[in-house]
Structure 1
Amino acid sequence: MPSIADLLHYLKDPSLLIVAVGMFGIPAIIFIETGLLFPMLPGDSLLVTAGLLASQPDGPVPLNVWTLGITCSLAAIAGNTTGFFIGRSAGKALFTREDSRFFKKSYIQQAHAFYETHGGKTIFIAQFMPIVRTFAPVVAGAADMRFLTFVTYNITGALTWIWSMLLIGYFIATQFPIVGKHVEKLIIVIVLLSITPAIFGWLRGRSKAS
């Protein structure tokens, strides 16, 4: 397994990260992003790229899309549940925690605002929103959401997110063989699309502050 410094370097290219950690390192990264409050990991682009590479029998790393779907789904569900109980026990303290390199109070404030608008559905919807995805379960726990309600949205949201991202990458590659000849370019597009919501959120926050 690579070091933390290596992982930070690999964030720029999900395919390099996948080669470095292998098939069972991918669900570990999903768990870290969702359960250990590390929102800077590239969950969406990682999954789409993994699906893309899984379609290539002679790819740089052996991947099975069905194994990935099962293990990453379990990792996302477990990570969200961990975040929920962090919120239940210490979530309110996060609102006053000092900013650090990887944590900003604005992250949890953004998730809280989303929760105020959408309620329990936040857990499902947030799966498709970087940063909000990481902190929505924490906010739900801090807000004392009923655990059964959380579990329902957690399972359905995690399954939908994981499988849709993986299968998008997998079927793009299998249905359009020319894509296999331009994997690097497609990965760049995937990364740009995955960070677009975060950029818009940052710009919105800047405009409100001004």
Structure 2
Amino acid sequence: MEQFWEHLQNLTDAQSIISKGGFYLLLVVIFAETGLFFGFFLPGDYLLVLAGLLCATNILDVSIVVLLLSLMGAGILGNYAGYWFGYRTGPMLFKRNESLFFKKRYVAMAEEFYAKYGGMALVLGRFFPIIRTFAPIFAGVVKVNFRKFTIFNIIGSATWVCTLTLAGFFLGKKYPDEIKYYLKYVILGLILITSIPLLIAYLKKAFKTGTTE
């Protein structure tokens, strides 16, 4: 058990995530997870909350305004990259060979989500792992109007970043000592919580497949 916590702390320690590669590493992760098809496994949700916590406790040496604007910018650019990729590959994306970093069912999941919510999928999808990565790619595949895409892209990034980062920031401000002491438990909790939407989507898909057989 002690080795598990040591391994977890090495993976999630502020020095490893933020300080080693720093603030810019955080931006790269958010950019990759919001538009590069191989970025779906990256922990964007909990890193936003963690960034807010670290900013509040002065471990991350940037102001909350700079942090929010930078994260929003990374999220917006990530979606543009995903849109461009989908636009360029088009329907051929569905014929792409599967690999460790690409599964056709992820694109199908984004297609189903987009069919249900339309342009708002680009906003709501920010809060769901995998959908967050593949929704902009699918929007590019179906060639959503670029102006419309841009509006939803900006709203989605701002909503996602502000909600999670400010939640972490205000929590860190209210309980600075407790956060520092229980940081590894907080991080583990965040990992579990942000995995719930992915688990629900997987179970629904499995149940749906099982009932059609």
Which band: TM-score by shorter chain? 0.7 to 0.9
Deviation at 1:63, TM superposition (A): 4.0
Instruction: Note the C-alpha offset of 1:92.
Output: 1.6
The Cα of 1:66 is off from its aligned counterpart by 2.0
The CA RMSD over aligned residues, in Å, is 1.9
Which residue of the partner structure matches residue 44 of structure 2? 43
Equivalent in the alignment of 1:205? 205
CA distance 1:45–1:119, shift in 2 (3 Å):
same
**Pairwise CA distance, 1:62:** 2.9
- What TM-score, normalized to structure 1? 0.88
Which segment is superposed worse, 166-175 or 85-94?
Answer: 85-94
- Equivalent residue number for residue 33 of structure 2: 33
Letter in 1 for 2:188: I
Q: Deviation per CA, 1:95-134: give whole Å up to 9, x if none.
A: 1222211221111110000011111111111111111011
Give the C-alpha shift of residue 12 in structure 1: 5.1
For 1:186-207, what per-residue CA distance to the aligned partner results, in whole angstroms no more than 9, with x for missing partners?
1111111111111111122222
1:3 matched to which residue of 2? none
Q: Distance in 2 between matches of 1:196 and 1:131?
A: 12
Matching of residues 1-210 of structure 1 within 5 Å: 13=12, 15=14, 16-37=16-37, 38-57=39-58, 59=59, 61-177=60-176, 178-210=178-210
Give distance in 1, aligned partners of 2:107 and 2:188. Answer: 28
Q: Whose helix proportion is higher, 1 or 2? A: 2
Alpha-carbon distance in 1 for matches of 2:173, 2:43 = 23
The answer for unaligned runs of 5 or more in structure 1 is: 1-8
Aligned CA distance change for structure 1 residues 33 and 45 (closer, same or farther; 3 Å): same
1:175: Cα distance to partner? Answer: 1.6
TM (norm. structure 2) is 0.87
- Counterpart CA distance in 2 for 1:148 and 1:187 is 37
Rate the CA distance shift 1:14–1:71 in 2: closer, same or farther, 3 A: farther
Query: What one-letter code is carried by the residue in structure 2 that aligns with 1:55?
Result: A
Provide the identity percentage.
Answer: 34
CA distance in 1: counterparts of 2:10 and 2:96, whole angstroms: 25
**Distance between the aligned counterparts of 2:13 and 2:110, measured in 1?**
25
Over 3 Å counting, the alpha-carbon distance change for 1:41 and 1:10 in structure 2 is: farther
Give the match for residue 5 of structure 2.
none
Unaligned runs of 5+ in 2: 1-7
Q: Deviations over 1:116-153 (max 9, x none)?
A: 11111111111111110111011111112111111110
- Mapped partners of 2:196, 2:87: distance in 1: 30
Distance 2:119 2:69 in 1: 24
2 CA distance for matches of 1:78 and 1:130? 18
Q: Say which SS state the counterpart of residue 108 (structure 2) adopts.
A: helix
| Contact persistence 1:53–1:63 (CA under 8 A) | no
